[in-house]
Structure 1
Amino acid sequence: MKRLSTLILLFFCSLMPNQKLNSQADPTGIFFSNTDIGAVKHQGNVSYLSDDQEYLIEGSGKNMWFDDDQFHYLWKSIQGDFILRAQIKFVGSGVDPHRKIGWMARNSFRPDSEHVSAAVHGDGLVSLQFRDSLGGDTNELPSKDTAPDIIELERRGSTFIMGTAKLGQPLNKIVYENSKLKNEVFIGLFVCSHNPDVVEKAIFRNVRIIKPFDESGERYQDYLGSHMEVLDVETLHRKILFSSAHSIQAPNWTPDGKALIYNSNGYLHRYDLKSGKTSTINTGFAVRNNNDHVLSFDGKQLAISHHDDQDNGDSAIYTLPVEGSSQPVRVTKKGLGPSYLHGWSVDARELVFTGSRNDQYDIYSVDIATGKETQLTNTEGLDDGPEYDPSGKFIYFNSNRSGTMQLYRMKPDGSEVEQLTFDELNDWFPHISPDGKKILFLSFGTDVESGDHPFYKHVYLRMMSVDGGDPKILSYVYGGQGTINVPSWSPDSKKVAFVSNSN
């Protein structure tokens, strides 16, 4: 069997000249391999910078048009639906204005193969290109965008969607229906110089290949795997720290900068940033924790939301030392209704949470010592995600009282409510940076009801000043529930931790 497998691999490789297989000396990251497509004059190349998770691709080729493609391809095979996303950049001014880079899905390595491509040209032209039949001509759907930094290609059955954007701006979409591509295709990044005598280069950062949620599955019962990521809010560079086949959610960054605390399957875990090792935090009987765990400002205590059997499975709030305890101390009283934790007061004497009381979800504070609750909001809509800023002057929260979910802030006693965001997106979970200057939050599109924050959607991580203003998109993420439910800033206010999802 081993000899047969070797012969099959050698035969497969013989069909693809200039191909380079994965090895420690020549890695291709999350892809399987790379190869030249068509009769190029100059062999292409791929360099993968593992520390930065970044690709440099060099490619030649006279064109990718009509019935003859010539380019360099970094690829893997995949079945079914997918989402491909990357930040892209040409290296240098280039020779031909029609040089191309982008994402491609194709049936084979033949130069006249059926394909769908999201292509960015050297002169800024953007188009969704496709060849429907073997040996047929290539067609295109041009975009209004020019010279984008972000490019995305998504497949939903026979429909392909290209998304493009300048870094920090919303994605613009082009849709192509009735593609003739097979279920199993090759997908990857490409570079074409559009000049047979020239080799062009491009850099691809924040590269993601995502297998989305199967809509035939049952939400909140079936789960995707997860990536724990860190984002630099200045450079906007993302790095995956580790991946899990399980649903992991809601990373807290400890104030000492040494670890991330996250939840999975009802348990809380600590990921050591230096060693990369994970340990389980002792929470005693509280092993049905949701993703509303929060560290006190001094990092000494941990508050959790545990679905307690004594309350028919409703969420109740407990505290314990950050190192863990077999006996968490209950804060919210029994029989009042579900309580979802979101923040500590600066002096660690109170917690703020979203509570269902009187058939309505509002924001409450609770005295940790006495369990006495104070209602801070009273609206017919949903008020959620309350969090103190480091000065203790404001509580920031999200509410759909205006019809869409927007961000607000108020004084700690619930007075002087001020709206901060005003666009059509649905904004959740405002997290204030430790320096007190910035708000990180999660934005869902108009495809999601304002009162819902589900798993497995296209979402934006956005940032703005604590006093309001125009939000900036930091990252384009496939996630949602569990991505940043809890405060996730690094202590120096330069990075944030978050979770993205893929099957």
Structure 2
Amino acid sequence: MQTIQNATQTNERKVTSLLECLDVKNGERKVLAVFDQLIEAPNWTQDGQSLIYNSGGLLYSFELATGTSNAIDSGYANQCNNDHVLSPDRNQIAVSHHSKEDGQSRIYIFPFEGGHPTLITALAPSYLHGWSPDGQTLAYCAERKGQYDIYTIPAAGGVETQLTDTAGLDDGPEYSPDGRHIWFNSTRSGLMQLWRMNADGSEQTQMTFDESNSWFPHVSPDGESVAYLTYRKDDVAPNDHPANKNVEIRIMPIHGGEYRTLAELFGGQGTINVNSWSPDSTKLAFVSYRLGE
């Protein structure tokens, strides 16, 4: 989850954003573009030709072949944060947009090529993270009655379903490619750790157990691996994922087990909030940052 305010707060220091691509097999990093403003959270499109990122409340399409970015028309949804997801059929984009009326994050859907947004979650705050493989359901983190939990709602709109109800923060829900599971991160065991549950909320199972704070599990399209972001234990509170920290991108097998560090970088909030696996499961897109004076 994220607000527009904390996304752009850098203590008045100039931010340079590096859009990068990481080979998960050999760890090779490639800088695709450098931006003199804050950009966040790249999604890889299903055709492998573009990356979708957010900046300044809008979404942009970065064309890999040309290295050019173009704004995507999202109508009145012009305060989007870094919680955005592409539909499985590539026809739509779902976003978390801070509504004009009260500044709270709600989920909207609009056409992939741009157009008028449709409100999906009337209740706020709601922070989108996952879209089921069959295109029927959205998964998100939401605060209701003072507690943040995982919820789902029909992508066409309707009544939301609460899946978790445990003390502590539950965040970052994302479907596995077969639709059987939802991965998420939770502080219920102390530090922020990765968890997995059945898509109906049953069998909630802890999947990481190390002395780090782990966020945003992203399952590879081939269903074999999970990439995620970690903060050092003493750098952050377990329920916080700030910008401008030394972090790692890690990977582990889908069934759990020993992790491998893919990259160490300066980032955090905005680096890899949403799934950014390439369609062939060989690369990850992410954003690292530099701070000027």
- Same fold (TM > 0.5): yes
Structure 1 residue 274: Cα displacement? 0.7
Structure 1 residue 227: Cα displacement? 0.1
**Kept after mapping to 2: 8 A contact 1:432/1:487:** yes
Equivalent-residue separation in structure 2 for 1:359 and 1:221 (angstroms): 31
Equivalence for 1:274:
65
Q: Give per-residue Cα distances to partners, 1:217-246, cap 9 Å, x unaligned.
A: 964765521000000001100000110110
Q: Does 1:467 align with 2:252?
A: no
Which of 274, 279, 288 is residue 500 of structure 1 equivalent to? 288
Equivalent-residue separation in structure 2 for 1:220 and 1:357 (angstroms): 31
Equivalent-residue separation in structure 2 for 1:417 and 1:221 (angstroms): 41
Equivalence for 2:164:
377
Equivalent-residue separation in structure 2 for 1:293 and 1:368 (angstroms): 14
Equivalence for 2:274:
486
Which of 80, 99, 107 is residue 317 of structure 1 equivalent to? 107
Equivalence for 2:147:
360
Equivalence for 1:458:
246
Structure 1 residue 298: Cα displacement? 2.5
Residues 370-449 of structure 1 aligned to structure 2 (within 5 Å): 370-446=157-233, 447-449=235-237
Equivalent-residue separation in structure 2 for 1:292 and 1:441 (angstroms): 15
308 and 458 in structure 1: CA distance in 2 versus 1, 3 angstrom threshold: same
Equivalent-residue separation in structure 1 for 2:109 and 2:277 (angstroms): 21
- Could you tell me the percent identity over the aligned residues? 52
Q: Give per-residue Cα distances to partners, 1:272-310, cap 9 Å, x unaligned.
A: 011111110000111100000101122221100000022
Higher relative contact order, chain-length normalized (CA < 8 Å, sep 6+): 2
| SS of corresponding position for 2:82 | coil
Write the letter of the residue equivalent to 2:268: G
Write the letter of the residue equivalent to 2:209: F
Which of 299, 321, 332 is residue 121 of structure 2 equivalent to? 332
Equivalent-residue separation in structure 1 for 2:29 and 2:141 (angstroms): 31
Equivalent-residue separation in structure 2 for 1:394 and 1:220 (angstroms): 39
Q: Give per-residue Cα distances to partners, 1:383-436, cap 9 Å, x unaligned.
A: 000000110010000001011000000011100011100001000000000001
Structure 1 residue 367: Cα displacement? 1.3
**Kept after mapping to 2: 8 A contact 1:223/1:247:** no
Residues 85-484 of structure 1 aligned to structure 2 (within 5 Å): 219=10, 224-310=15-101, 312-325=102-115, 327-333=116-122, 336-446=123-233, 447-484=235-272
Count the aligned residue pairs: 283
Unaligned runs of 5+ residues in structure 1 are 1-216
| SS of corresponding position for 1:403 | coil
219 and 381 in structure 1: CA distance in 2 versus 1, 3 angstrom threshold: farther
| SS of corresponding position for 2:191 | coil
**Kept after mapping to 1: 8 A contact 2:53/2:60:** yes
Write the letter of the residue equivalent to 2:19: M
**Kept after mapping to 2: 8 A contact 1:317/1:331:** yes
Write the letter of the residue equivalent to 2:36: A
Q: Give per-residue Cα distances to partners, 1:328-387, cap 9 Å, x unaligned.
A: 011001xx3200000101111110000000110000001122421000000110000000
**Kept after mapping to 1: 8 A contact 2:169/2:239:** yes
| SS of corresponding position for 1:475 | strand
Equivalent-residue separation in structure 1 for 2:42 and 2:49 (angstroms): 13
Write the letter of the residue equivalent to 1:358: K
**Kept after mapping to 1: 8 A contact 2:121/2:157:** no
Write the letter of the residue equivalent to 1:302: I
Write the letter of the residue equivalent to 1:267: L
| SS of corresponding position for 1:243 | strand
Equivalent-residue separation in structure 2 for 1:390 and 1:369 (angstroms): 20
After TM superposition, the score normalised by the length of structure 1 is 0.55
| SS of corresponding position for 2:257 | strand
Structure 1 stretches of 4+ moved >6 Å: none
Q: Give per-residue Cα distances to partners, 1:143-195, cap 9 Å, x unaligned.
A: xxxxxxxxxxxxxxxxxxxxxxxxxxxxxxxxxxxxxxxxxxxxxxxxxxxxx
Write the letter of the residue equivalent to 1:254: T
Unaligned runs of 5+ residues in structure 2 are 1-7
231 and 338 in structure 1: CA distance in 2 versus 1, 3 angstrom threshold: same
Write the letter of the residue equivalent to 1:320: F
Aligned-residue CA RMSD (Å): 1.3
448 and 392 in structure 1: CA distance in 2 versus 1, 3 angstrom threshold: same
**Kept after mapping to 2: 8 A contact 1:254/1:295:** yes
Equivalent-residue separation in structure 2 for 1:315 and 1:349 (angstroms): 21
Higher Cα radius of gyration:
1
Q: Give per-residue Cα distances to partners, 1:228-271, cap 9 Å, x unaligned.
A: 00000011000001101100000000010010000001110000
